[in-house]
Structure formats: C-alpha cells, structure tokens
Amino acid sequence: MSTATPFEVRLSVAAARGLSIFVYAALLLGNFGVAVGVPEPRIAALAVSLLKIAGLLGALILFLSSYGQLSQKAEADLDEREVAIRNRAYVLTHQIMVAVLFLGFLWVTLADKLGWWLPGASDAADLITAFGLGSMALPAAILAWRDRAPADEEGA
C-alpha cells in the first residue's frame, strides 16, 4: 500500500520569512484598514481590497508550505526533534492568539464604557477574518523564523 505525498509548497527559509512579514502586514493594513474605515477614493478602496486578498492568499501559501505541513503532520510521522519544534510553535501560536484575543476584549470593554470607536458587524467580520487567517498561518511563520537557513542560503 503506497502512501500519497501531501501537497506542499516548497519555500526557502528566507522566502517563508518574507512571506510571513507580508501576510501579517497585508492582514493588518487590509482587514484592519477596512474595519477602521475604507478610504473614499476608489483607488484606495481597491488597494485595500487587494491587500485583503493578498493576505488571504499569502496565509494559504504559508499554511500549505513545508512549514505549514510540518505543523500538521501526525506525531508518528515526525522525529523527536520535529515534534518538539512543532509543539513549541503551537504553544507560541496559542499564547500569541490568546493575547490578541484578550487585547480585543479589553478594547471592546473600554470602548463601550468610554465611547471609543467600535466596529460595526461587517467591519467586525473583517477583524475576525484577519484573526482566523493570522492564526492559520502563525505556526508556519513561527517554524520559518525558528528554522536555521543553510549556510549557502544565508549569504544569498
């Protein structure tokens, strides 16, 4: 019985790191930008929409990358070092996402009491989308940033 090889996007360490920076910048500027107010000019609104799409596609590529696949493999398919690295990435992902979630809760609580800006339902959906996409890509991003680049790649 042969085992099918899962689809995987091969990224160098540098490419995965660069993509992770791009993804979080695009999610922040695109989705958060929409939530706080889409600029009036059509070209600016188009740019924000393209950033949202780019963030989505980048997060998907990170998720499908070799780093994302490492985070999804069954423990039986990994050696002890890979299990430890993957588990640490998940612990960091959990800590970061819970911290972001609680910052959101804190903002909502303070904003409600102090009359600060709060998103409407549609804008809140953009923020939740950014949160979900960010959490989906975060284990791969952490694994990429913790990976050591081969000596020949570091000089490139």
How many domains are there within the chain? 1
**Do 23 and 55 meet the contact criterion of CB atoms below 8 Å apart?**
yes
Q: Considering the chain, what is the average pLDDT of its residues? A: 87
The CA radius of gyration of the chain, in Å to the nearest whole number, is: 18
Q: DSSP assignment, residue 155?
A: T
Reported as a single tens digit per residue, the pLDDT across 47-92 is: 888 999 999 999 999 999 999 999 888 889 899 999 999 999 999 9
With respect to residue 37, please indicate whether it lies within any of the assigned structural domains: yes
Is 5 within a domain?
Answer: no
Q: Structural domain of residue 72, as residue ranges?
A: 13-148
Is residue 22 one of the residues assigned to a domain?
Answer: yes
In sequence order, which residues have a C-beta less than 8 Å from that of residue 120 and are 6 or more positions away?
Answer: none
> Is residue 120 assigned to a domain?
yes
Instruction: Determine the distance from the C-alpha atom of residue 77 to the mean position of all C-alpha atoms in its chain, rounded to a whole number.
Output: 25
pTM for this entry: 0.84
Amino acid type, 3 = T
Is residue 155 included in any domain, yes or no?
no
